[in-house]
Amino acid sequence: MALSRTAWIAAGIGARLLMIAALAMTVQRMLAIHPHFRYLDDYYKLSSYTYVVAVAVIGMAGCALQFPVAVYLLFKSKRTTPSALMLDISLCADVVVTVLLASGVGAGFGATDTVLHYIDYTDWTGKEEFKKDLTDYYNKAILPDVFLLIGMVVSMAATVISARIRARATNDDHADDF
Contact 147, 25 (CB under 8 A): yes
Rounded Cα distance, 35 and 39, in Å: 9
- Tens-place pLDDT, residues 38-54: 776 666 778 888 999 99
Q: According to the model, what pLDDT value does residue 139 have?
A: 92
Q: According to the model, what pLDDT value does residue 80 have?
A: 63
- Tens-place pLDDT, residues 126-158: 888 888 888 898 999 999 999 999 999 999 999
Rounded Cα distance, 144 and 4, in Å: 35
Rounded Cα distance, 169 and 177, in Å: 15
Q: According to the model, what pLDDT value does residue 22 have?
A: 95
Q: According to the model, what pLDDT value does residue 25 have?
A: 96
What does R_g of the chain's alpha carbons equal in angstroms? 21
Q: According to the model, what pLDDT value does residue 78 have?
A: 63
The model's confidence at residue 173, banded by pLDDT at 50, 70 and 90, is very low
Q: According to the model, what pLDDT value does residue 6 have?
A: 80
- Tens-place pLDDT, residues 85-131: 888 888 899 999 999 999 999 999 999 999 999 988 888 888 888 88
User: Distance between the two ends of the chain, CA-based, in angstroms?
Assistant: 11
Alpha helices in the chain (DSSP H): 5-32, 47-76, 84-120, 128-140, 142-169
Residue 81 has pLDDT above 80, yes or no: no
Q: According to the model, what pLDDT value does residue 142 have?
A: 93
Q: Is the dihedral of CA 59, 60, 61, 66 positive or negative?
A: positive
Residue 33, Ramachandran bin (φ over 0: left; ψ between -120 and 50: alpha; else beta): beta
Q: What percent of the chain has pLDDT over 90?
A: 43
Rounded Cα distance, 138 and 131, in Å: 11
- The DSSP secondary structure of 91-137, one letter per residue, reads HHHHHHHHHHHHHHHHHHHHHHHHHHHHHHTS--TT-HHHHHHHHHH
Q: Locate the domains of the chain by residue range.
A: 5-35+47-169
